[in-house]
């Protein structure tokens, strides 16, 4: 645990920003499902098109990207999200550029979320058998840099002002896939929604993969749930920005 317990807030719209089409479901699907179920407006911005999400050397990447947009929309609909947007940046090539930050700020200023939910850019090593994908770390860094200072400052991305997109200050950032959680979100009752939405990403859960996730994700959620005495939880580093 780091710092005092955060004010986790229970109102306002939410923008989830992730690197790949299925990241939101894996990292925070239970939380997003719960919020949508509570009537909050939940939106998704995916920064790459996922066109390297296959080990088949003959897979048509353009077709895969198109497939993944359809899967993203189906998964988001299952979770009860209000909108999805998938940028056309190639999988594995995400960089923290002004162009990427402009698109995140565009979504923030359009949706005006109270919370931006992304992943922790400082998380590199998960145990001794996995380290974090560069697109995940970069997505988190882009999201943080877009939230502050860019989204709330009129001198950043002034072309957006001309489009009528006024500055907007986000109140809180939730970072999943973190090594420094300060909040465990109760997602009891929403794990099935998480797994069912993940199953909508059919191209990514072929063969044994769905079984792997259906075993691993509930185990992980149960382990995190024990931290706060509930059946299932997801872990976040929550930052309150005032």
C-beta closer to Zn ion: residue 114 or 176: 176
Contact present, 175 and 119 (Cβ < 8 Å): yes
Q: Is 183 in the site for Zn ion (CB under 5 A)?
A: no
In the numeric block, which tokens belong to residue 43?
């939106």
In the numeric block, which tokens belong to residue 128?
């001794």
Q: Is 91 in the site for Zn ion (CB under 5 A)?
A: no
Q: Is 71 in the site for Zn ion (CB under 5 A)?
A: no
Least distance CB 88 / Zn ion (angstroms): 17
Q: Is 137 in the site for Zn ion (CB under 5 A)?
A: no
* Residue with smallest beta-carbon separation from Zn ion: 20
Cα(207)–Cα(211) distance, integer angstroms: 8
C-beta closer to Zn ion: residue 23 or 51: 23
Contact present, 107 and 15 (Cβ < 8 Å): yes
C-beta closer to Zn ion: residue 157 or 177: 177
Q: Is 20 in the site for Zn ion (CB under 5 A)?
A: yes
- Secondary structure of residue 113 in the 3-state scheme: coil
C-beta closer to Zn ion: residue 67 or 182: 67
Q: Is 23 in the site for Zn ion (CB under 5 A)?
A: yes
The span of 18-26, 35-43, 199-207, 228-236 binding Zn ion (CB under 5 A) equals: 18-26
The span of 17-25, 58-66, 222-230, 234-242 binding Zn ion (CB under 5 A) equals: 17-25
Site residue total, Zn ion (CB under 5 A): 2
Least distance CB 228 / Zn ion (angstroms): 26
In the numeric block, which tokens belong to residue 36?
């949508």
Buried b (16+ CB within 10 A) or exposed e, 17-47: bbbbbbbbbbbbbbbbbbbbeeebbbbbbbb
From the list 39, 31, 26, 18, the residue with the least C-alpha distance to 142 is 18
C-beta closer to Zn ion: residue 23 or 71: 23
Contact present, 19 and 139 (Cβ < 8 Å): yes
Residues that bind Zn ion (CB under 5 A): 20, 23
């Amino acid at each position: 645990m780091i710092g005092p317990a955060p004010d986790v807030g229970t109102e306002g719209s939410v923008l989830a920003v992730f690197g790949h089409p299925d990241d939101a479901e894996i990292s925070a699907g239970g939380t997003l499902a719960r919020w949508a179920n509570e009537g909050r407006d939940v939106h998704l911005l995916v920064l790459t098109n996922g066109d390297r999400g296959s080990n088949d050397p003959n897979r048509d990447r353009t077709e895969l990207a198109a497939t993944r947009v359809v899967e993203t929309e189906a998964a988001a609909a299952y979770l009860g999200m209000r909108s999805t947007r998938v940028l056309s940046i190639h999988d594995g090539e995400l960089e923290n550029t002004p162009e990427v930050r402009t698109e995140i700020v565009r979504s923030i200023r359009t949706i005006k979320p109270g919370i931006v939910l992304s992943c922790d850019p400082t998380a590199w090593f998960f145990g001794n058998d996995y380290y974090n994908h560069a697109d995940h770390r970069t997505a988190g860094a882009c999201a943080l840099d877009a939230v502050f200072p860019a989204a709330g400052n009129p001198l950043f991305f002034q072309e957006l002002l001309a489009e009528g997109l006024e500055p907007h200050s986000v109140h809180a950032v939730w970072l999943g896939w973190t090594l420094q959680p300060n909040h465990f979100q109760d997602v009891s009752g929403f794990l099935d929604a998480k797994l069912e939405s993940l199953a909508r990403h059919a191209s990514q859960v072929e063969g044994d993969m769905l079984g792997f996730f259906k075993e691993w994700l509930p185990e992980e959620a149960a382990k995190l749930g024990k931290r706060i005495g509930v059946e299932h939880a997801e872990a976040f580093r929550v930052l309150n920005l005032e």
